[in-house]
Structures are given as structure tokens and as C-alpha cells.
Amino acid sequence: GAVVSQHPSWVICKSGTSVKIECRSLDFQATTMFWYRQFPKQSLMLMATSNEGSKATYEQGVEKDKFLINHASLTLSTLTVTSAHPEDSSFYICSGRRGLSNGYTFGSGTRLTVV
Amino acid sequence: QKEVEQNSGPLSVPEGAIASLNCTYSDRGSQSFFWYRQYSGKSPELIMFIYSNGDKEDGRFTAQLNKASQYVSLLIRDSQPSDSATYLCAFSGGGGYQKVTFGTGTKLQVIP
């Protein structure tokens, strides 16, 4: 089945620094990758839609200059949290789809803690 | 009105029983429906994907979709303690790589 590899699985960083999260589709080409954020005991909230070779589409309320998304190839999408603050601490998850006849596959998630 | 409504639970069922999880959605343009299972601290994993009215069965799981009534359900037969998790209902719109909207999830507890 479709596999999405996400790294790192967890990261602790100091306030004001930047963190990069990578998602790779291992056995399929992900034209589109979705980035979600999930706070404790809450559902997944879509942050942005990453399209290969073009600018990402951000959801309302998500700062595009703070959450930089790059989708340089059909198998790699990255999310960079710039100038991270404690309120950015969350579980970040990417998701891609291998064709219309399949569901969306999630990466394993990245737990970000900003101290 | 929320786009996706799920009872947050917890829903408690004894081991071996049938667990029934329900979800309603507001967007009549929705075409694809998903059930995901999420263990605490883990990423969601896809259980079922359904886009036609009726039932779809996969092992102990059956997804039921009723577009006229705008609800989708998930039945888990012979529930096991390992099924204890939060179940997320989700949908997406018409073809292509449309974004997926998630419900807040129903927490299921299977009591041994």
C-alpha cells in the first residue's frame, strides 16, 4: 500500500528557532500533500495543501510566512516552522493519496515541542 | 453547523460485541468518505473508504453510507480491546485531490 514517511518523529526546539519537517511518499507520486496540525484531544486541522511545483494553498488563519511549505518533487514535501513559539507546539501530520481509488495515507506525525 | 458531526464518546462496548459509530456531514457535494482509527499519540490510519451508497465490508469492519440522509457509519463486529481508539470520520469533495475534512472523533473503549 501507499506509504508516507515523515521525519523527524519528534523534535524539541528553543523558542525563536526554525524546524523543518519532511514527508516522503515512498511508493507513489504525491502530486498533492496535505499538512495538518492536531492539538491534544482535538481533531486534525488542515493547515495547507502542498502542490508539486507550485505555491501551497493555506487555510484561513494559517500564516504562510510562518509555516513555509515546499513541494519540490513528486515524492517530497517539507514544512518549516519558522521562529517557533511555545504555542506552535503540536502534532504535525502530512497526508497524501495514491490515486482516486485509495484513501489518504498519513505520515507517522511529528510531535513538536517548543521550549 | 459543523461540517462533520461525531459523538465524542466515550463509547464503551464489551469485548465481542458490535460497536456502532456514527457520523453526519453537512456538505451534500461530498463524494468520498473515510473512517480512520487513531491511537493516542499516533497518526491516523485508514480503516475504510466508501463513496457509494450502501454497505462496504472489510473483515470485521462495515462502513455504511446514506447520502440522502447525509450520514456514514462504521460497524465493528467482534470488538477487541485492541480496537480501543479514537475513530475519525472524514469526507472530501469531488474528484481530484480535494482536501479532507475531519470530524472530532469518537473514542471507543472495548471492555475485556
What's residue B8's pLDDT?
A: 86
**Residue A105, pLDDT above cutoff 90:** no
d(C-alpha B6, C-alpha B9), whole Å: 9
DSSP designation for B1: -
Residues A61-93 pLDDT 10s: 999 999 999 988 889 999 999 999 999 999 999
What's residue B73's pLDDT?
A: 96
Q: Report, as an integer, the average pLDDT of A2-26.
A: 95
CB contact under 8 A, A105 and B49: no
CB contact under 8 A, B43 and A105: no
**In which band, very low, low, confident or very high, does the pLDDT at A52 lie, cut at 50, 70 and 90?**
confident
Q: Which residues of A touch B43 (CB under 8 A)?
A: 6, 93, 106-109
List residues of chain B with CB under 8 Å from any CB of chain A: 34, 36, 41-46, 48-49, 88, 92, 95-97, 99-105
| A residues 61..100 contacting B (CB < 8 A) | 91, 93, 95, 97, 100
Q: In this structure, what are the phi and psi dihedrals at residue A54, rounded to the nearest 5 degrees? A: -145, 175
What's residue A101's pLDDT?
A: 65
Residues A7-16 pLDDT 10s: 999 999 999 9
DSSP designation for B29: T
DSSP chain A: ---EEEE-SEEEE-TT--EEEEEEESSS--SEEEEEEE-TTS--EEEEEEETTS--EEPTT--TTTEEEEEEETTEEEEEE-S--GGG-EEEEEEEESSTTS-EEE---EEEEE-
- The residue ranges of chain B whose pLDDT is under 50 are none
What's residue B94's pLDDT?
A: 57
Query: With pLDDT > 90 as the criterion, what percentage of chain A qualifies?
Result: 70
What's residue B60's pLDDT?
A: 97
| 8 A C-beta contact, residue B1 and residue B98 | no
Query: With pLDDT > 70 as the criterion, what percentage of chain A qualifies?
Result: 96
CB contact under 8 A, B44 and A46: no
Angle at B42 between CA B39 and CA B44, to 5 degrees: 75
d(C-alpha B4, C-alpha A44), whole Å: 12
Residues B41-67 pLDDT 10s: 899 999 998 988 999 999 999 999 999
A44 touches chain B (CB under 8 A): yes
**In which band, very low, low, confident or very high, does the pLDDT at A40 lie, cut at 50, 70 and 90?**
confident
What's residue B93's pLDDT?
A: 73
